[in-house]
Amino acid sequence: MGLLCIPTSSSVVLQTLFLICCAFFVSQALGARIPQPQPHKSLPFIWPLPAKFIFGNDSLSVDPALSLSGNGAASAIVRDAFDRYKGILFKHGDRFSFLRTLRPVYDVTKLSINVHSHSEELQLGVDESYNLFVSRAQALSGAGQVTIEANTVFGALRGLETFSQLCSFDYTTKTVQIYKAPWSIRDKPRFPYRGLMLDTSRHYLPVDVIKQIIESMSYAKLNVLHWHIIDEQSFPLEVPTYPNLWKGSYTEWERYTVEDAYEIVNFSKMRGINVMAEVDIPGHAASWGVGYPNLWPSPSCKEPLDVSKKFTFDVLSGILTDMRKIFPFELFHLGGDEVNTDCWSNTSTVSKWLRNHNMTAKDAYQYFVLKAQNIALTKNWSPVNWEETFNTFPTKLHPRTVVHNWLGPGVCPKAVAKGFRCIFSNQGVWYLNYLNVPWDDVYTAEPLEGIRKASEQKLVLGGEVCMWGETADTSDIQQTIWPRAAAAAERLWSQRDSTSGNANIIALRRLHYFRCLLNRRGVPAAPVNNFNARTAPVGPGSCFEQ
């Protein structure tokens, strides 16, 4: 059966219908497929991409006097976050209200947040899921409704971030608009651990700078700040039990007091971010001996720390006792990487101790790591160690150990196969100090690569990008972190099936948009497209195309 398409009128409408009709039947005859809408072209500018969402085509205006309702308003964490986001959304304010005789009518005047749990304890695996609903404006009342539902206050924080990204300032009407309403978003993170490591030993970072970075982490829904406070170059942290330790700081002005550390932890919690502190031992600890020289094997051989002395472990226990009062997170990083034991073998007092204990230097490395783990365990911490410990003596590590991958791929599959939990930070893709790693390599890295069993996949806690500080300080650290850290953030938050494929199609336009959002919020994120991270724009152009 067929249909003959013949124009019977000179009208434009009939001619158009005729052309459409003929094109359809020609395409059928040739076996051609009618082009279908491409899903990526309809992806909203939300970063990271939510798990499930639907949206419409309406626009709603948002009242600058937006108020908070729902039982979430009883939480100081929620109220504080609401005020922060309100300041972000309405930074233009309502500057011309004094010229108006009548107050404008806005579609959205209230944000309702309902939280099902009263607990505000922030620990690994806390429920960060949320539902966000934006109704269309009603015909009679003109009002639209925005509701966030979450099981915890920390899920509510993630919902607030998404809500803030739905809102845009319209420069024509000079109002904040929610586009593509109505919205229905049901969201939850893919991994419980989504981290960023900061190194404050190679370069000191002022507390305000650390807080700026924590704030920017919340925009990308990262939830762990791995604070690599101390290393061989400097010991900037106050330890009341051993007050001479911070004599190892660069100067007396580049230090963190106990109160500073408390402030950073509390500031982070208000944004749903845990702080995992690190004391990298025994190999990255030369700075300890500035205040206590007995920690060095000898004046000319300053690391690893002296394994032969009880004093070494007394100091370590004192440090961890003081730090436990500050850092409530259940994970504590004990380092354990890059330990060159030649210093022990070449120091007469230590080598004698090794012989008396029938140990090789390699045995002493294991002895030190396991003794440090036991100290952390007595303080109810689960120890995290860099992968060298697992690579060297996997059967000896405590079962609660979290193996932190960094040297390359393939470590997490081996670790989870032996029942250990793992954090993915493959240096080839997630070390931010490597400036020649482009954003799409960061984006396409997969923490579960090579792990097929569901039971083993659950042991991968997630991952983190590492911002080692040798060439980064206050002058360039934010440009080095962003926007590449955001690429990893989406990999760790969003569902794998919705973010697989060509990164340039799935993510590039949204990442441009997110980078510009960071810039608008005062975060000096670098251009997306530059091959070398943190480099300046190559010429004039829009933020959305650089």
Half-sphere exposure of 404 (CA within 13 A, CB side): 24
Q: Is pLDDT larger for residue 17 or for residue 69?
A: 69
The reported pLDDT for the residue numbered 262 is: 98
The reported pLDDT for the residue numbered 316 is: 98
What DSSP string runs through 94-141? TTTGGG-SSPPP-SEEEEEEEES-------TT----EEEEEPPPPTTT
Q: Which amino acid is at 34?
A: I
Cα separations (Å) of 543 from 172, 432, 509?
Answer: 20, 21, 11
Distance CA 222, CA 229 (A): 19
Residue 375 has pLDDT above 70, yes or no: yes
Task: Classify domain 193-521 at the CATH superfamily level.
Answer: Glycosidases (3.20.20.80)
Q: What would the pLDDT profile of 131-185 be if each residue is shown by its tens digit? A: 999 998 765 555 778 999 999 999 999 999 999 999 999 999 999 999 999 999 9
Secondary structure of 476-498 as H, E, C letters: CHHHHHCCHHHHHHHHHHCCHHH
Look at the domain 52-187 and name its fold: Chitobiase; domain 2 (3.30.379)
Q: Is pLDDT larger for residue 12 or for residue 45?
A: 45
380: left (phi over 0), alpha (psi -120 to 50) or beta: left
Considering the chain, what is the average pLDDT of its residues? 90
Q: Which amino acid is at 378?
A: T
State the residue for tokens 């269309």: 136
Mean pLDDT, residues 98-113: 80
Distance CA 424, CA 509 (A): 26
How many C-beta atoms lie closer than 10 Å to residue 437's C-beta? 21
Decide: 305 and 281 in contact? Cβ < 8 Å: yes
Distance CA 13, CA 434 (A): 60
Q: Which amino acid is at 59?
A: S
The reported pLDDT for the residue numbered 26 is: 34
Q: What would the pLDDT profile of 86-95 be if each residue is shown by its tens digit? A: 999 998 765 5
The reported pLDDT for the residue numbered 44 is: 80
Q: What would the pLDDT profile of 383-427 be if each residue is shown by its tens digit? A: 999 999 999 999 999 999 999 999 999 999 999 999 999 999 999
State the residue for tokens 């034991």: 341
Cis peptide before 399 (omega within 30 of 0): no
Residue 375, C-beta contacts closer than 8 angstroms, at least 6 positions apart: 313, 316, 317, 320
Structure letter (DSSP) for residue 387? H
The reported pLDDT for the residue numbered 22 is: 38
Residue 345 has pLDDT above 90, yes or no: yes
The token pair that represents 432 in the structure block: 């931010």
The token pair that represents 321 in the structure block: 């006792």
The reported pLDDT for the residue numbered 36 is: 34
Q: Exactly one of 338, 449, 470, 545 is catalytic; name it.
A: 338
The reported pLDDT for the residue numbered 32 is: 35
The reported pLDDT for the residue numbered 499 is: 86
Cis peptide before 483 (omega within 30 of 0): yes
The token pair that represents 191 in the structure block: 């991994």
Distance CA 196, CA 512 (A): 21
Confidence tier at 102 by pLDDT (50, 70, 90): low
The token pair that represents 80 in the structure block: 């504080």
The reported pLDDT for the residue numbered 101 is: 58
Q: Torsions phi, psi of 195, nearest 5?
A: -115, 165
The reported pLDDT for the residue numbered 136 is: 80
Secondary structure of 391-439 as H, E, C letters: HHCCCCCCCCCEEECCCCCCHHHHHHHCCCEEEECCHHHHECCCCCCCH
The reported pLDDT for the residue numbered 94 is: 59
pTM of the entire structure? Answer: 0.90
Q: Torsions phi, psi of 66, nearest 5?
A: -50, 130
Q: How far apart are the first and last CA of the chain?
A: 54
Residue 6 has pLDDT above 80, yes or no: no
Domain boundaries, the chain: 52-187, 193-521
Residue 37 has pLDDT above 90, yes or no: no
How many C-beta atoms lie closer than 10 Å to residue 22's C-beta? 15
Q: What would the pLDDT profile of 463-507 be if each residue is shown by its tens digit? A: 999 999 999 999 999 999 999 999 999 999 999 988 888 888 899
Distance CA 351, CA 7 (A): 100
Burial classification of residue 218, based on how many CB atoms lie within 10 Å of its CB (0-12 exposed, 13-18 middle, 19 or more buried)? buried
Assess whether 338 carries a catalytic annotation: yes
Mean pLDDT, residues 365-380: 98
Distance CA 246, CA 255 (A): 7
Residue 29, C-beta contacts closer than 8 angstroms, at least 6 positions apart: none
Distance CA 210, CA 204 (A): 10
Confidence tier at 119 by pLDDT (50, 70, 90): very high
Element (H or E) spanning 370, and its range? helix 361-378
Residue 3 has pLDDT above 70, yes or no: no
Distance CA 483, CA 508 (A): 11
Q: What would the pLDDT profile of 444-458 be if each residue is shown by its tens digit? A: 999 999 999 999 999
Half-sphere exposure of 201 (CA within 13 A, CB side): 23
Say whether 534 sits in a helix, a strand or coil: coil
